[in-house]
């Protein structure tokens, strides 16, 4: 079908007129997808690494990532994966062979060419099979770890404590090179090891309450949480995405103590301090677009804390604020620039900073998760306070 010049002109004009609307719709969809991704992939507390990042750090070879599509013996899975990866078309096989002729010799050495010698296409397919199989065996340790991490994710684990990962995955707990194991057993053994690793640090963090030890009054309640909550609770070993969001919002100590308070002895020292992430932001109010102001935002809710009067707005992360720069977001202000986040110690308004901090056992148990030393920010706080001047606003 041929179009007249006038028709082409009309179509071009229509596209030009609709271009802004199309761009707005594309930006809206992109923003929704970004927000959804950020909600489902929150930043992990310090001392933890997400399952996705742990998997991304592994070397799986060319076909190892296909292991999650299989169950049963890992060696049998390697054979099936290799068989499924073999090329079917003559062109592809003859293109592969010149750079991989040594695998034809290896396949012959392994006796795989019996019955097909003289048929170059079938011989090349056997060479590919041997090549792909050996590639997976040479990467078995990381492939098995990948499968185990995938299994943990299916059970609700979003982030693992670095020390726990080192002990369970890089220690002697599980032999990831055992090619007689079933794929799902790598995940189940990892889960058992992580569950076992929880007990001692949680006991210590709540002052070794004997009531949750074996046969104690709270033992079965504790076990029902540990085994039935899908890692949806603050702990120093493995947490779900919901637990990570809670820790990000409240700080590790506060989230831990709030969840486990019923298991703690009456004389247990609760945290008098919370770690709060502050973010310096330059903005202007939409009513006065020519007047820039420096404000302090907080990633956590500061209601009831002594720093609440210094905070202009709560609940936005550094990444979210950066994405708001120069955009209309429905708020009565527009973000112009975002500074680097820093952490401070905030106290409940009813308590003085001099009161005792959380027991040292808790800080040792959590292994630094969610806590940064204030010392690294001492030199920055005064400057930021000077910059704020009279810029404090109501929360």
The answer for 215, left when phi > 0, alpha when psi is -120 to 50, beta otherwise, is: left
Separation of alpha carbons 126 and 105, rounded Å: 10
Element at 296 (helix H, strand E)? strand 293-298
Separation of alpha carbons 191 and 238, rounded Å: 10
Confirm if 334 and 321 have CB atoms less than 8 A apart. no
Q: Region 179-197: what's the mean pLDDT?
A: 92
Separation of alpha carbons 270 and 99, rounded Å: 66
Which segments of the chain does DSSP mark as H helices, in order? 5-40, 51-56, 74-85, 90-96, 101-109, 120-138, 140-154, 162-169, 183-205, 219-228, 241-250, 252-260, 318-324, 360-366, 378-388
- Dump pLDDT digits (tens) for 92-110: 999 999 999 999 999 999 9
Q: Region 85-94: what's the mean pLDDT?
A: 95
Poorest-pLDDT segment among 80-84, 134-138, 149-153, 244-248: 244-248
0.85 cut: is pTM over it?
no
Minimal CA–CA distance to 347: which of 392, 309, 307? 307
User: Is residue 31 scored above 60 in pLDDT?
Assistant: yes
pLDDT at position 135 = 96
User: Is residue 355 scored above 60 in pLDDT?
Assistant: no
pLDDT at position 372 = 33
Confirm if 104 and 20 have CB atoms less than 8 A apart. no
């Amino acid at each position: 079908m041929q179009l007249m010049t006038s028709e082409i002109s009309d179509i071009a004009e229509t596209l030009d007129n609709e271009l802004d609307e199309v761009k707005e719709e594309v930006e809206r969809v992109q923003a929704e997808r970004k927000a959804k991704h950020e909600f489902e992939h929150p930043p992990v507390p310090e001392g933890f690494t997400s399952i996705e990042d742990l998997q991304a750090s592994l070397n799986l070879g060319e076909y190892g990532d296909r292991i999650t599509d299989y169950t049963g013996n890992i060696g049998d899975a390697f054979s099936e994966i290799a068989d499924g990866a073999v090329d079917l078309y003559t062109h592809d096989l003859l293109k592969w062979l010149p750079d991989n002729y040594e695998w034809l010799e290896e396949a012959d050495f392994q006796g795989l060419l019996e019955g097909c010698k003289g048929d170059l296409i079938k011989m090349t397919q056997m060479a590919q099979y041997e090549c792909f199989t050996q590639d997976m065996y040479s990467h078995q340790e990381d492939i098995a770890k990948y499968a185990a991490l995938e299994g943990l994710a299916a059970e609700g684990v979003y982030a693992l404590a670095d020390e726990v990962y080192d002990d369970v995955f890089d220690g002697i707990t599980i032999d990831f090179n055992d090619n007689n194991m079933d794929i799902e057993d790598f995940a189940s053994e990892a889960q058992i090891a992580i569950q076992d690793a929880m007990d001692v640090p949680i006991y210590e963090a709540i002052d070794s309450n004997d009531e949750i030890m074996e046969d104690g009054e709270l033992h079965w309640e504790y076990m029902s949480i540990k085994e039935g909550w899908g890692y949806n609770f603050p702990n120093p070993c493995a947490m779900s995405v919901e637990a990570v969001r809670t820790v990000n919002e409240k700080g590790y100590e506060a989230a831990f103590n709030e969840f486990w308070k019923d298991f703690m002895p009456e004389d247990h020292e609760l945290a008098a301090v919370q770690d709060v992430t502050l973010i310096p932001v330059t903005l202007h109010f939409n009513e006065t677009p020519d007047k820039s102001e420096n404000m302090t935002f907080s990633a956590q809710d500061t209601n009831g804390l002594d720093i609440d009067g210094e905070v202009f707005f709560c609940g936005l992360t550094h990444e979210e604020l950066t994405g708001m720069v120069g955009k209309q977001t429905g708020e009565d202000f527009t973000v112009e620039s975002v500074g680097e986040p820093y952490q401070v110690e905030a106290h409940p308004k009813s308590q003085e900073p001099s009161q005792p901090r959380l027991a040292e056992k808790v800080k040792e148990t959590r292994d630094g998760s969610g806590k940064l030393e204030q010392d690294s920010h001492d030199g920055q706080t005064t400057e930021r306070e000077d910059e704020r001047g009279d810029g404090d606003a109501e929360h």
